[in-house]
Chain A
Protein backbone atom coordinates (compact mmCIF):
# COMPACT_ATOMS: atom_id res chain seq x y z
CA UNK A 1 0.00 0.00 0.00
CA UNK A 2 1.49 3.38 -0.99
CA UNK A 3 2.02 6.16 1.50
CA UNK A 4 -0.67 8.27 -0.16
CA UNK A 5 -3.12 5.39 0.16
CA UNK A 6 -2.73 5.53 3.93
CA UNK A 7 -4.14 9.04 4.22
CA UNK A 8 -7.32 7.57 5.72
CA UNK A 9 -5.40 5.91 8.54
CA UNK A 10 -3.81 9.22 9.43
CA UNK A 11 -7.18 10.98 9.40
CA UNK A 12 -8.53 8.37 11.76
CA UNK A 13 -5.52 8.56 14.05
CA UNK A 14 -5.68 12.38 14.18
CA UNK A 15 -9.43 12.37 14.80
CA UNK A 16 -9.07 9.95 17.70
CA UNK A 17 -6.26 12.04 19.22
CA UNK A 18 -8.58 15.07 19.15
CA UNK A 19 -11.41 13.03 20.71
CA UNK A 20 -13.74 13.75 17.82
CA UNK A 21 -16.43 11.23 16.94
CA UNK A 22 -16.54 9.95 13.38
CA UNK A 23 -20.17 11.03 12.96
CA UNK A 24 -19.42 14.54 14.23
CA UNK A 25 -16.51 15.03 11.83
CA UNK A 26 -18.57 13.66 8.95
CA UNK A 27 -21.38 16.10 9.72
CA UNK A 28 -18.96 19.04 9.98
CA UNK A 29 -17.51 18.42 6.52
CA UNK A 30 -20.82 17.52 4.94
CA UNK A 31 -20.42 13.82 4.15
CA UNK A 32 -22.05 10.72 5.55
CA UNK A 33 -20.46 8.87 8.46
CA UNK A 34 -20.36 5.68 6.40
CA UNK A 35 -18.40 7.44 3.63
CA UNK A 36 -15.93 8.85 6.17
CA UNK A 37 -15.61 5.35 7.58
CA UNK A 38 -14.62 4.05 4.13
CA UNK A 39 -12.09 6.89 3.79
CA UNK A 40 -10.59 6.21 7.20
CA UNK A 41 -10.11 2.54 6.30
CA UNK A 42 -8.33 3.52 3.09
CA UNK A 43 -11.12 2.16 0.90
CA UNK A 44 -11.84 5.45 -0.80
CA UNK A 45 -9.30 7.85 -2.24
CA UNK A 46 -9.39 11.36 -0.90
CA UNK A 47 -8.02 14.65 -2.19
CA UNK A 48 -8.90 18.15 -3.26
CA UNK A 49 -11.40 20.22 -1.32
CA UNK A 50 -12.58 17.34 0.88
CA UNK A 51 -9.02 16.68 2.09
CA UNK A 52 -8.49 20.39 2.79
CA UNK A 53 -11.76 20.55 4.75
CA UNK A 54 -10.87 17.51 6.86
CA UNK A 55 -7.36 18.85 7.46
CA UNK A 56 -8.81 22.19 8.56
CA UNK A 57 -11.23 20.49 10.95
CA UNK A 58 -8.43 18.32 12.34
CA UNK A 59 -6.18 21.42 12.60
CA UNK A 60 -3.29 20.02 10.55
CA UNK A 61 -1.81 20.69 7.11
CA UNK A 62 -3.17 18.51 4.35
CA UNK A 63 0.41 17.47 3.56
CA UNK A 64 0.75 16.06 7.06
CA UNK A 65 -2.10 13.69 6.33
CA UNK A 66 -0.72 12.58 2.97
CA UNK A 67 3.06 12.43 3.55
CA UNK A 68 3.50 11.71 7.18
CA UNK A 69 5.06 8.32 6.95
CA UNK A 70 8.63 9.48 6.47
CA UNK A 71 10.92 7.44 4.28
CA UNK A 72 13.67 7.48 6.87
CA UNK A 73 11.44 6.03 9.56
CA UNK A 74 10.26 3.26 7.26
CA UNK A 75 13.85 2.52 6.30
CA UNK A 76 14.86 2.39 9.97
CA UNK A 77 12.11 -0.11 10.69
CA UNK A 78 13.13 -2.25 7.73
CA UNK A 79 16.64 -2.22 9.14
CA UNK A 80 15.33 -3.20 12.57
CA UNK A 81 13.37 -6.08 11.06
CA UNK A 82 16.33 -7.37 9.06
CA UNK A 83 17.25 -10.88 10.09
CA UNK A 84 14.79 -11.00 12.97
CA UNK A 85 12.26 -13.34 11.41
CA UNK A 86 9.59 -10.75 10.68
CA UNK A 87 7.45 -12.26 7.93
CA UNK A 88 7.44 -10.67 4.49
CA UNK A 89 3.69 -10.14 4.80
CA UNK A 90 4.16 -8.02 7.91
CA UNK A 91 7.19 -6.31 6.44
CA UNK A 92 5.03 -5.20 3.51
CA UNK A 93 2.73 -3.46 5.99
CA UNK A 94 5.50 -1.37 7.57
CA UNK A 95 4.14 1.84 6.02
CA UNK A 96 0.71 1.14 7.43
CA UNK A 97 2.30 0.55 10.84
CA UNK A 98 4.13 3.87 10.64
CA UNK A 99 0.99 5.66 9.55
CA UNK A 100 -1.17 4.23 12.29
CA UNK A 101 1.32 4.17 15.17
CA UNK A 102 3.96 6.83 14.44
CA UNK A 103 5.11 7.18 18.04
CA UNK A 104 5.54 3.44 18.53
CA UNK A 105 7.29 3.22 15.19
CA UNK A 106 9.64 6.01 16.16
CA UNK A 107 10.37 4.38 19.51
CA UNK A 108 11.18 1.12 17.77
CA UNK A 109 13.49 2.84 15.28
CA UNK A 110 15.32 4.81 17.99
CA UNK A 111 15.71 1.69 20.14
CA UNK A 112 17.12 -0.23 17.21
CA UNK A 113 19.64 2.52 16.50
CA UNK A 114 20.71 2.48 20.13
CA UNK A 115 21.13 -1.30 20.06
CA UNK A 116 23.22 -1.02 16.89
CA UNK A 117 25.42 1.59 18.56
CA UNK A 118 25.91 -0.58 21.63
CA UNK A 119 26.74 -3.60 19.47
CA UNK A 120 29.37 -1.56 17.66
CA UNK A 121 30.82 -0.46 20.99
CA UNK A 122 30.99 -4.03 22.26
CA UNK A 123 32.62 -5.19 19.04
CA UNK A 124 35.19 -2.42 19.28
CA UNK A 125 36.02 -3.19 22.90
CA UNK A 126 36.16 -6.90 22.22
CA UNK A 127 38.47 -6.34 19.27
CA UNK A 128 40.75 -4.15 21.34
CA UNK A 129 40.98 -6.57 24.23
CA UNK A 130 41.43 -9.63 22.02
CA UNK A 131 43.67 -8.42 19.25
CA UNK A 132 45.13 -5.06 20.06
CA UNK A 133 48.93 -5.40 20.07
CA UNK A 134 49.22 -2.11 21.93
CA UNK A 135 47.13 -3.46 24.77
CA UNK A 136 49.15 -6.69 24.84
CA UNK A 137 52.37 -4.66 24.98
CA UNK A 138 51.00 -2.48 27.78
CA UNK A 139 49.99 -5.50 29.86
CA UNK A 140 53.36 -7.13 29.22
CA UNK A 141 55.12 -3.97 30.37
CA UNK A 142 53.16 -3.91 33.63
CA UNK A 143 53.70 -7.62 34.28
CA UNK A 144 57.42 -7.48 33.50
CA UNK A 145 57.98 -4.55 35.81
CA UNK A 146 55.96 -6.15 38.60
CA UNK A 147 57.95 -9.38 38.19
CA UNK A 148 61.19 -7.46 38.43
CA UNK A 149 60.10 -5.69 41.61
CA UNK A 150 58.88 -8.98 43.10
CA UNK A 151 62.19 -10.78 42.40
CA UNK A 152 64.33 -7.97 43.71
CA UNK A 153 62.21 -7.42 46.80
CA UNK A 154 62.42 -11.14 47.62
CA UNK A 155 66.19 -11.00 47.56
CA UNK A 156 66.24 -7.99 49.86
CA UNK A 157 63.86 -9.59 52.35
CA UNK A 158 65.20 -13.13 52.34
CA UNK A 159 68.95 -12.52 52.21
CA UNK A 160 69.85 -10.99 55.57
CA UNK A 161 73.57 -11.05 54.80
CA UNK A 162 73.43 -9.26 51.49
CA UNK A 163 76.54 -7.26 50.73
CA UNK A 164 76.00 -3.49 50.94
CA UNK A 165 76.80 -2.86 47.27
CA UNK A 166 74.23 -5.45 46.20
CA UNK A 167 71.67 -4.04 48.63
CA UNK A 168 72.21 -0.53 47.25
CA UNK A 169 72.00 -1.83 43.72
CA UNK A 170 68.70 -3.65 44.33
CA UNK A 171 67.22 -0.70 46.16
CA UNK A 172 68.02 1.47 43.16
CA UNK A 173 66.48 -1.14 40.86
CA UNK A 174 63.26 -1.23 42.87
CA UNK A 175 63.13 2.53 42.82
CA UNK A 176 63.47 2.73 39.03
CA UNK A 177 61.09 -0.21 38.46
CA UNK A 178 58.43 1.23 40.75
CA UNK A 179 58.52 4.49 38.79
CA UNK A 180 58.19 2.52 35.59
CA UNK A 181 55.32 0.51 37.04
CA UNK A 182 53.50 3.67 38.04
CA UNK A 183 53.88 5.12 34.54
CA UNK A 184 52.94 1.92 32.70
CA UNK A 185 49.94 1.30 35.00
CA UNK A 186 48.71 4.81 34.40
CA UNK A 187 49.08 4.33 30.65
CA UNK A 188 47.19 1.02 30.82
CA UNK A 189 44.37 2.55 32.84
CA UNK A 190 44.20 5.42 30.36
CA UNK A 191 43.97 2.90 27.53
CA UNK A 192 41.11 1.02 29.17
CA UNK A 193 39.38 4.00 30.74
CA UNK A 194 35.67 3.87 29.97
CA UNK A 195 34.48 6.57 32.32
CA UNK A 196 34.54 9.35 29.79
CA UNK A 197 31.53 8.21 27.83
CA UNK A 198 31.03 6.62 24.47
CA UNK A 199 33.56 8.79 22.69
CA UNK A 200 36.37 7.53 24.90
CA UNK A 201 35.29 3.90 24.47
CA UNK A 202 35.26 4.08 20.73
CA UNK A 203 38.48 6.02 20.52
CA UNK A 204 41.23 3.58 19.60
CA UNK A 205 44.75 4.88 19.01
CA UNK A 206 44.07 4.74 15.25
CA UNK A 207 40.94 6.84 15.71
CA UNK A 208 42.81 9.32 17.87
CA UNK A 209 45.34 9.75 15.11
CA UNK A 210 42.62 10.23 12.52
CA UNK A 211 40.98 12.91 14.67
CA UNK A 212 44.37 14.59 15.08
CA UNK A 213 45.01 14.56 11.33
CA UNK A 214 41.50 15.78 10.52
CA UNK A 215 41.86 18.64 13.01
CA UNK A 216 44.95 19.70 11.04
CA UNK A 217 43.21 19.19 7.70
CA UNK A 218 45.86 16.52 6.95
CA UNK A 219 48.28 19.35 6.26
CA UNK A 220 51.43 20.21 8.27
CA UNK A 221 53.23 23.09 6.52
CA UNK A 222 55.47 23.85 9.52
CA UNK A 223 56.77 20.29 9.54
CA UNK A 224 57.22 20.24 5.79
CA UNK A 225 59.23 23.44 6.04
CA UNK A 226 61.41 21.89 8.75
CA UNK A 227 60.46 24.53 11.31
CA UNK A 228 58.85 21.96 13.61
CA UNK A 229 59.98 18.40 14.19
CA UNK A 230 57.35 15.64 14.23
CA UNK A 231 58.17 14.78 17.85
CA UNK A 232 57.53 18.38 18.92
CA UNK A 233 54.23 18.50 17.01
CA UNK A 234 53.17 15.32 18.81
CA UNK A 235 54.09 16.68 22.24
CA UNK A 236 51.87 19.70 21.64
CA UNK A 237 48.93 17.67 20.33
CA UNK A 238 46.43 17.63 23.20
CA UNK A 239 44.06 15.28 21.34
CA UNK A 240 46.68 12.50 21.18
CA UNK A 241 46.27 11.05 24.66
CA UNK A 242 47.64 7.50 24.41
CA UNK A 243 51.24 6.49 23.89
CA UNK A 244 50.19 4.27 20.99
CA UNK A 245 48.40 7.12 19.23
CA UNK A 246 51.44 9.33 19.62
CA UNK A 247 53.69 6.66 18.13
CA UNK A 248 51.39 6.13 15.15
CA UNK A 249 51.02 9.87 14.59
CA UNK A 250 54.77 10.45 14.79
CA UNK A 251 55.36 7.69 12.28
CA UNK A 252 52.83 9.33 9.96
CA UNK A 253 54.47 12.73 10.33
CA UNK A 254 57.88 11.20 9.64
CA UNK A 255 56.45 9.89 6.37
CA UNK A 256 55.30 13.42 5.54
CA UNK A 257 58.84 14.64 6.17
CA UNK A 258 60.21 11.97 3.84
CA UNK A 259 57.59 12.66 1.15
CA UNK A 260 58.00 16.43 1.32
CA UNK A 261 61.76 16.08 0.99
CA UNK A 262 61.18 14.42 -2.37
CA UNK A 263 58.21 16.50 -3.50
CA UNK A 264 58.12 20.03 -2.11
CA UNK A 265 54.62 21.43 -1.94
CA UNK A 266 55.47 24.61 -3.89
CA UNK A 267 57.03 22.50 -6.67
CA UNK A 268 54.05 20.15 -6.71
CA UNK A 269 51.56 23.00 -7.04
CA UNK A 270 53.65 24.54 -9.84
CA UNK A 271 53.78 21.23 -11.73
CA UNK A 272 50.05 20.77 -11.23
CA UNK A 273 49.54 23.96 -13.21
CA UNK A 274 51.73 22.61 -16.01
CA UNK A 275 50.88 18.90 -16.09
CA UNK A 276 47.48 18.84 -14.45
CA UNK A 277 46.57 16.02 -12.07
CA UNK A 278 48.36 13.41 -14.20
CA UNK A 279 49.78 11.09 -11.55
CA UNK A 280 52.08 9.20 -13.87
CA UNK A 281 53.67 12.35 -15.25
CA UNK A 282 53.96 13.90 -11.80
CA UNK A 283 55.59 10.77 -10.40
CA UNK A 284 57.95 10.70 -13.35
CA UNK A 285 58.75 14.39 -13.01
CA UNK A 286 59.67 14.07 -9.32
CA UNK A 287 61.06 10.54 -9.75
CA UNK A 288 58.99 9.17 -6.88
CA UNK A 289 56.47 6.37 -6.51
CA UNK A 290 52.84 6.84 -7.46
CA UNK A 291 51.65 6.42 -3.85
CA UNK A 292 54.04 9.19 -2.82
CA UNK A 293 52.42 11.57 -5.34
CA UNK A 294 48.98 10.46 -4.14
CA UNK A 295 49.86 11.22 -0.52
CA UNK A 296 51.18 14.63 -1.49
CA UNK A 297 48.06 15.51 -3.48
CA UNK A 298 45.77 14.34 -0.68
CA UNK A 299 47.56 16.71 1.72
CA UNK A 300 46.53 19.78 -0.29
CA UNK A 301 43.31 20.92 1.44
CA UNK A 302 41.95 22.96 -1.45
CA UNK A 303 42.03 19.96 -3.81
CA UNK A 304 39.56 18.09 -1.56
CA UNK A 305 40.93 14.64 -2.42
CA UNK A 306 40.50 11.57 -0.24
CA UNK A 307 43.04 8.84 0.41
CA UNK A 308 43.05 5.32 1.74
CA UNK A 309 45.88 2.84 2.17
CA UNK A 310 45.79 -0.85 2.96
CA UNK A 311 48.33 -3.52 3.71
CA UNK A 312 48.47 -6.98 2.12
CA UNK A 313 45.96 -8.37 4.62
CA UNK A 314 43.41 -5.82 3.46
CA UNK A 315 43.52 -3.88 6.73
CA UNK A 316 43.01 -0.16 6.18
CA UNK A 317 46.02 1.71 7.52
CA UNK A 318 45.01 5.26 6.68
CA UNK A 319 41.68 6.85 5.90
CA UNK A 320 40.83 10.29 4.66
CA UNK A 321 37.17 10.29 3.75
CA UNK A 322 35.65 13.05 1.67
CA UNK A 323 31.97 14.02 1.27
CA UNK A 324 30.15 11.28 -0.62
CA UNK A 325 32.94 8.73 -0.26
CA UNK A 326 32.94 7.33 3.24
CA UNK A 327 35.70 4.92 4.15
CA UNK A 328 34.42 2.44 6.76
CA UNK A 329 35.90 2.72 10.23
CA UNK A 330 34.84 -0.76 11.27
CA UNK A 331 34.88 -3.93 9.21
CA UNK A 332 36.19 -4.42 5.74
CA UNK A 333 35.77 -2.09 2.79
CA UNK A 334 34.26 -2.91 -0.61
CA UNK A 335 36.44 -5.56 -2.30
CA UNK A 336 35.66 -4.01 -5.68
CA UNK A 337 37.71 -0.92 -4.94
CA UNK A 338 40.73 -0.50 -7.21
CA UNK A 339 42.76 -0.31 -3.97
CA UNK A 340 42.53 -4.09 -3.67
CA UNK A 341 42.96 -4.79 -7.37
CA UNK A 342 46.52 -3.45 -7.42
CA UNK A 343 47.61 -5.30 -4.29
CA UNK A 344 50.77 -7.22 -4.99
CA UNK A 345 51.37 -5.46 -8.31
CA UNK A 346 53.78 -2.70 -7.36
CA UNK A 347 54.12 -0.10 -10.11
CA UNK A 348 50.79 -0.96 -11.70
CA UNK A 349 48.22 1.84 -11.62
CA UNK A 350 44.47 1.55 -12.05
CA UNK A 351 42.16 4.47 -12.73
CA UNK A 352 38.41 3.97 -12.45
CA UNK A 353 35.38 6.20 -12.35
CA UNK A 354 33.26 5.21 -9.40
CA UNK A 355 29.80 5.95 -8.11
CA UNK A 356 29.29 4.87 -4.52
CA UNK A 357 25.49 4.86 -4.67
CA UNK A 358 23.27 4.81 -7.71
CA UNK A 359 20.99 7.28 -5.95
CA UNK A 360 23.57 10.07 -5.78
CA UNK A 361 25.03 12.09 -8.60
CA UNK A 362 28.47 12.25 -7.01
CA UNK A 363 31.14 10.56 -9.07
CA UNK A 364 34.78 9.95 -8.19
CA UNK A 365 37.86 9.23 -10.24
CA UNK A 366 39.91 6.78 -8.20
CA UNK A 367 43.58 6.02 -8.79
CA UNK A 368 45.21 3.06 -7.10
CA UNK A 369 48.80 1.84 -7.00
CA UNK A 370 50.90 -0.39 -4.77
CA UNK A 371 54.45 -0.05 -3.55
CA UNK A 372 56.93 -2.36 -1.85
CA UNK A 373 57.58 -1.82 1.84
CA UNK A 374 61.04 -2.39 3.28
CA UNK A 375 63.98 -4.07 1.64
CA UNK A 376 64.01 -7.41 -0.14
CA UNK A 377 64.61 -10.63 1.77
CA UNK A 378 65.64 -13.82 -0.03
CA UNK A 379 62.82 -16.36 -0.32
CA UNK A 380 60.37 -14.00 1.31
CA UNK A 381 57.55 -12.35 -0.59
CA UNK A 382 57.85 -8.58 -0.32
CA UNK A 383 55.38 -6.68 1.80
CA UNK A 384 53.28 -4.24 -0.16
CA UNK A 385 50.96 -1.41 0.62
CA UNK A 386 48.30 -0.17 -1.76
CA UNK A 387 47.17 3.43 -1.92
CA UNK A 388 44.05 4.86 -3.54
CA UNK A 389 43.53 8.54 -4.30
CA UNK A 390 39.87 9.60 -4.44
CA UNK A 391 39.20 12.60 -6.66
CA UNK A 392 35.67 14.05 -6.78
CA UNK A 393 34.49 14.77 -10.32
CA UNK A 394 32.56 18.02 -10.68
CA UNK A 395 29.02 17.38 -11.94
CA UNK A 396 29.63 19.57 -15.00
CA UNK A 397 32.70 17.56 -15.98
CA UNK A 398 31.18 14.10 -15.98
CA UNK A 399 31.70 12.54 -19.38
CA UNK A 400 28.78 10.15 -20.02
CA UNK A 401 30.88 8.17 -22.50
CA UNK A 402 33.29 7.11 -19.74
CA UNK A 403 32.20 3.99 -17.91
CA UNK A 404 31.18 4.65 -14.33
CA UNK A 405 31.23 1.60 -12.08
CA UNK A 406 28.94 1.29 -9.10
CA UNK A 407 30.70 0.22 -5.94
CA UNK A 408 30.03 0.42 -2.22
CA UNK A 409 31.61 1.54 0.99
CA UNK A 410 31.08 -1.71 2.86
CA UNK A 411 28.63 -4.55 2.27
CA UNK A 412 26.45 -3.71 5.26
CA UNK A 413 25.42 -0.34 3.88
CA UNK A 414 25.58 -1.17 0.18
CA UNK A 415 22.42 -1.95 -1.77
CA UNK A 416 24.19 -3.18 -4.92
CA UNK A 417 22.32 -6.26 -6.04
CA UNK A 418 23.83 -9.49 -7.33
CA UNK A 419 27.30 -8.40 -6.31
CA UNK A 420 29.93 -11.13 -6.53
CA UNK A 421 31.97 -9.42 -3.82
CA UNK A 422 29.23 -9.34 -1.20
CA UNK A 423 30.27 -10.80 2.17
CA UNK A 424 27.11 -10.12 4.15
CA UNK A 425 23.55 -8.99 3.40
CA UNK A 426 22.84 -5.30 3.26
CA UNK A 427 20.69 -3.68 5.90
CA UNK A 428 19.24 -1.27 3.37
CA UNK A 429 15.85 -1.70 1.79
CA UNK A 430 15.38 -1.64 -1.95
CA UNK A 431 14.24 2.01 -1.96
CA UNK A 432 17.84 2.95 -1.17
Chain B
Protein backbone atom coordinates (compact mmCIF):
# COMPACT_ATOMS: atom_id res chain seq x y z
CA UNK B 1 0.00 0.00 0.00
CA UNK B 2 1.21 3.46 -0.92
CA UNK B 3 1.86 5.49 2.24
CA UNK B 4 1.46 9.08 1.17
CA UNK B 5 1.07 11.75 3.82
CA UNK B 6 0.43 15.46 3.36
CA UNK B 7 1.81 17.58 6.18
CA UNK B 8 0.08 20.97 6.38
CA UNK B 9 2.09 23.07 8.76
CA UNK B 10 3.74 26.48 8.76
CA UNK B 11 6.43 25.85 11.40
CA UNK B 12 9.61 24.93 9.53
CA UNK B 13 11.21 23.06 12.42
CA UNK B 14 8.09 21.01 13.08
CA UNK B 15 7.97 20.12 9.40
CA UNK B 16 11.57 18.95 9.52
CA UNK B 17 11.05 16.80 12.60
CA UNK B 18 7.85 15.22 11.32
CA UNK B 19 9.25 14.69 7.85
CA UNK B 20 12.23 12.88 9.38
CA UNK B 21 10.04 10.66 11.57
CA UNK B 22 7.48 9.85 8.89
CA UNK B 23 10.08 9.18 6.17
CA UNK B 24 11.87 6.80 8.50
CA UNK B 25 8.61 4.88 8.86
CA UNK B 26 8.28 4.56 5.11
CA UNK B 27 5.88 7.40 4.38
CA UNK B 28 6.16 9.60 1.33
CA UNK B 29 5.89 13.09 2.76
CA UNK B 30 4.46 16.12 1.00
CA UNK B 31 4.33 19.43 2.79
CA UNK B 32 2.22 22.51 2.40
CA UNK B 33 2.26 25.69 4.49
CA UNK B 34 -0.39 27.96 2.97
CA UNK B 35 -3.69 27.72 4.84
CA UNK B 36 -5.67 29.47 2.12
CA UNK B 37 -4.93 26.77 -0.49
CA UNK B 38 -4.72 23.75 1.85
CA UNK B 39 -8.02 22.21 0.77
CA UNK B 40 -7.15 22.60 -2.90
CA UNK B 41 -3.81 20.88 -2.26
CA UNK B 42 -5.54 17.94 -0.57
CA UNK B 43 -7.96 17.58 -3.48
CA UNK B 44 -5.10 17.63 -5.96
CA UNK B 45 -2.75 15.07 -4.49
CA UNK B 46 -5.31 12.87 -2.65
CA UNK B 47 -2.95 11.66 0.13
CA UNK B 48 -3.65 8.64 2.36
CA UNK B 49 -3.16 10.75 5.41
CA UNK B 50 -3.30 14.46 6.21
CA UNK B 51 -1.61 15.92 9.26
CA UNK B 52 -3.04 19.38 9.72
CA UNK B 53 -2.09 22.31 11.86
CA UNK B 54 -5.57 23.24 13.06
CA UNK B 55 -4.61 26.85 13.71
CA UNK B 56 -2.85 27.49 10.44
CA UNK B 57 -3.12 31.17 9.41
CA UNK B 58 -5.72 31.87 6.70
CA UNK B 59 -7.22 28.40 7.14
CA UNK B 60 -10.80 27.75 8.13
CA UNK B 61 -11.18 24.16 9.48
CA UNK B 62 -14.93 24.35 8.83
CA UNK B 63 -14.30 24.66 5.10
CA UNK B 64 -12.33 21.39 4.95
CA UNK B 65 -14.57 18.85 3.19
CA UNK B 66 -12.55 17.39 0.35
A-to-B contact residues, CB < 8 Å: 140, 144-145, 147-148, 151-152, 155, 166, 169-170, 173, 176-177
Contacts and interface: CB of A to CB of B under 8 A. Distances in A.
Given A140-B55, A151-B21, A155-B21, A173 B16 contact: yes
B13 interface: yes
A246 B11 CA distance: 24
9 shortest interchain CB distances as A-B pairs? A151-B17, A173-B13, A148-B13, A148-B14, A152-B17, A140-B55, A144-B11, A177-B13, A148-B11
A155 B13 contact: no
Contacts of B16: 152, 169-170, 173
Nearest to B10: A144
Contacts of B21: 151, 155
A291 B60 CA distance: 32
A169 B53 CA distance: 23
Interface in B2-24: 11, 13-14, 16-18, 20-21
A155 B14 CA distance: 12
Contact of B20 (A145, A166, A176): A166
B20 A144 contact: no
Contacts of B14: 144, 147-148, 151
B52 to A, nearest CB: 13
The number of chain B residues touching the other chain, given as a range, is 10 to 19
Contacts of B17: 148, 151-152, 155, 170, 173
Contacts of A176: 13
A170 B11 CA distance: 14
Contacts of A177: 13
Interface of B: 11, 13-14, 16-18, 20-21, 53, 55
Given A151-B21, A155-B21, 12 more contacts: A140-B55, A144-B11, A148-B11, A148-B13, A148-B17, A151-B17, A152-B13, A152-B16, A155-B17, A170-B17, A176-B13, A177-B13
Nearest to B14: A148
Contacts of B11: 144-145, 148
B18 A151 contact: yes
A176 B12 CA distance: 11
A144 B14 CA distance: 8
B37 to A, nearest CB: 16
Nearest to B20: A155
Nearest to B18: A151
B8 to A, nearest CB: 13
A101 B43 CA distance: 77
13 contacts: A140-B55, A144-B14, A144-B53, A148-B11, A148-B17, A151-B17, A151-B21, A152-B16, A152-B17, A155-B21, A169-B16, A173-B16, A177-B13
A149 to B, nearest CB: 8
Contacts of A170: 16-17
Contacts of A155: 17, 20-21
Contacts of B20: 155, 166
B19 to A, nearest CB: 11
B29 to A, nearest CB: 14
B58 to A, nearest CB: 13
Interface centre among B14, B21, B53 (most CB of A within 10 A): B14
A117 B20 CA distance: 54
B4 to A, nearest CB: 21
Nearest to A162: B20
Interface centre among A140, A151, A169 (most CB of B within 10 A): A151
A184 to B, nearest CB: 12
A157 to B, nearest CB: 13
A170 B18 CA distance: 12
Nearest to B57: A137
Nearest to B24: A159
A258 B55 CA distance: 32
